[in-house]
Copies of this chain bind each other. A is one copy, B any other.
Amino acid sequence: MAQTARQIADDLRERIGSGELAPGARLPGEPALVRQYGVAKETARRALTLLVTEGLAVRRRGSGTYVREFQPIRRVANRRLAQEGWGRGRSIWAADLGERPMKVTGLHVHEAPAPDDIARALDLPTGSSVVIRDWLFVVEGEPVQAAVSYLPADLVRGSAIAREDTGPGGTYARLAELGAKPIRFVEELRARMPSQDETERLHLADGTPVVEIYRTALTEDDRPVEVNRMLLDAGVYVMEYHVTS
């Protein structure tokens, strides 16, 4: 009969690893662990908390604690290369990508001074005005990604980019019409734990990291014309990049 929270967590982890407790299955609850292991409720709770912060389990209040499921959405950074046919059909993570429809909600457009890091990335003087477009991607009713796009106000003011409906082809088509067609992108990417705000905005389960991506769009003559900051639910996304040379 195990005694510590860690040992109880080890037991449960092994039962998850072995498949005895499959993804989506209900774990023994706090009262059950108290009975089975003869520990205090807080100890049982700590054991489950360990699994939750490891990302192995998800708590549903009033219902139970469940083995986490991972059915990723695939984000392919360079579709063109990916579609040239190489490197296909050999994915590591099963890509239930396709056909869950992704919706955009909460789109909001306004103009404001650029944050310092954005101004720097856009090669603008500190405090320059930018058009800010922000929105949320939703899949099956659940938010999975928050995105904020920053564009130099002097460039896009008056165009459809400064309005909610950017028209056919979207922001990039409009940028092309303005003589600022993006053809190269630099993505900087980091993973970290979310803040409380972010947890709420993306409905994140405890123990879920986020992936923060800054994508800078550059024109033919190497001018940065957009910075897009994306915040992805890491429990939902797999990122794919195709690299040459």
Besides A90-B122, A90-B186, A209-B209, 11 other CB < 8 A contacts? A54-B195, A81-B244, A86-B184, A86-B186, A86-B218, A86-B222, A92-B188, A92-B214, A92-B227, A93-B190, A190-B237
Instruction: Decide if the interface of chain A is mainly helix, strand, loop or mixed.
Output: mixed
CB <8 Å contact, B244 and A78: yes
The CA-CA distance from A87 to B122 in the complex, in Å, is 10
CB <8 Å contact, B55 and A193: yes
Say if the beta carbon of A245 comes within 8 Å of chain B.
Answer: yes
CB <8 Å contact, B189 and A238: yes
Say if the beta carbon of A117 comes within 8 Å of chain B.
Answer: yes
Interface membership of chain A positions 47-78, coded 1 if the CB is closer than 8 angstroms to chain B and 0 otherwise: 00000011100000000000000001000011
Question: Contact residue range for chain A?
Answer: 35 or more
CB <8 Å contact, A244 and B183: yes
Say if the beta carbon of A143 comes within 8 Å of chain B.
Answer: no
Say if the beta carbon of A8 comes within 8 Å of chain B.
Answer: no
Min CB gap A88→B, angstroms: 9
Say if the beta carbon of A185 comes within 8 Å of chain B.
Answer: yes
Interface membership of chain A positions 145-185, coded 1 if the CB is closer than 8 angstroms to chain B and 0 otherwise: 00000000000000000000000000000000000000111
Min CB gap A227→B, angstroms: 8
CB <8 Å contact, B87 and A216: yes
Say if the beta carbon of A11 comes within 8 Å of chain B.
Answer: no
